[in-house]
Chains A and B, each alone.
Chain A
Amino acid sequence: MLPMEIVIRGLHMERSQLRLGLVISSMIMLNSTLLLGSMSAPARSAVPALAFGFSVISQYFLVKQSLERSDKNIQVLKELGASHGLLLQTLLVNVVLVGLIGSVAGFVLGISAMFSLQIMPFTNGLLGASTLSAQLHLLFLATSGLAGMSVGSFLGIKQALGSR
């Protein structure tokens, strides 16, 4: 895998863009967690799907836009012997890592906010007063958010590399 510095400077994955990725993924998870806590039981099952959808779309456009600027540099790396697989792997790991940090941060913030706002009865469920379903909902939400972020990153990178 290429070093982080080459990825950031050479492939234009600038810090500002990485920060934006971090903020977007954490906001999606934060809002989804709060939404999950404030909705009635039947509607809760739609929240992970929403988180998945938003994560795919936001990551796809963020990654694609970021890599469009590094068109020439990707070409240089290919000419020097970087395989398609190596570029895909390097970018995917770096982008997913940022998304992962953002998602976990957003998730933790969301749960903290749920407790501070005393969103009931969901918090009771989390504390074990109700059923296991609250924990399962949260687990499903986290998985959907991470999966959406990974799929969006993959599609964005694939699109950017594939068009060259």
Chain B
Amino acid sequence: MPPNYILRLENVSKSYGMPQHRVFESVNLAFQEGEFVAAQGPIGSGKTTLLNIISGFQKPNTGRVLVKGTDIARINGQELLNIRTRTFGIVPQTQNLIPELTIAQNIELPLLLQKVPKAEREKRVQEVLDRIGIGKVRDRIVGTLSVGEREIVTIARSMVTDPPIILMDEPTEALDPMMTDIVISFLKSDHLLKKKTMFVSTHDERIARLAGRIIHVKKRIP
């Protein structure tokens, strides 16, 4: 039986600027459902670009990005937005929370934008908050949290919609060892319990060890 690929990159190339700087060329990658893949490589090697292409925030110059069979490199607007919000939970490198809102309101936002009914939203937010152990501080304003605490909230928000694929860009980069432990145990349990497909760009060897496969991204010499 052929493997069940949820995500595939076929001959994807990306370059920037004039004169063109090639970030990568003819990349072929395939992710099976439930697989945990880590990407490692030096700063500037294109890991973030790769994650942005997979999630549709950036378009490749050539090639196909197949998400459950749909080439998201060829679609735009509402269709792309729908696929992205229903398929991916994204933890970007720079935290993108709304500091004026509470922890619970930030986690609720993706559900709100997907028009999930209020009772269901409340239930799902509370579930995620309890799972990561911050249910009691749900009404704290995000602007008052530490960098590590915000990272936890970002991870929680990426999972609240129960997406099949989770993309994380250096989730422990700015965290102290204690916060890193919390993130790792969270990833571990969620990965094991819910069988998500995960693609994580990381320098942290402990996260890389959790992965079933490691992709080494090399920096191109111009």
Contacts and interface: CB of A to CB of B under 8 A. Distances in A.
Contacts of B81: 81, 83
B98 A75 contact: no
10 contacts: A3-B112, A6-B112, A9-B101, A10-B105, A73-B98, A76-B96, A76-B97, A76-B98, A77-B113, A79-B96
Interface string B11-42: 00000000000000000000000000000000
Contacts of B109: 6, 77, 80
Interface of B: 57, 78, 81, 84-85, 90, 92, 96-98, 100-101, 105, 109-110, 112-114
A132 interface: no
A2 interface: yes
Contacts, number: 42
Contact of A82 (B92, B96, B113): B113
Interface of A: 2-3, 5-6, 9-10, 12, 73, 75-77, 79-83, 86
- Give chain A's interface secondary structure class: helix
A32 B97 CA distance: 44
A81 B96 CA distance: 13
Contacts of A86: 113
A81 B57 CA distance: 11
A2 B84 CA distance: 20
10 A-B pairs closest in CB distance: A81-B85, A81-B113, A9-B100, A76-B96, A10-B98, A73-B98, A80-B110, A82-B113, A80-B109, A10-B101
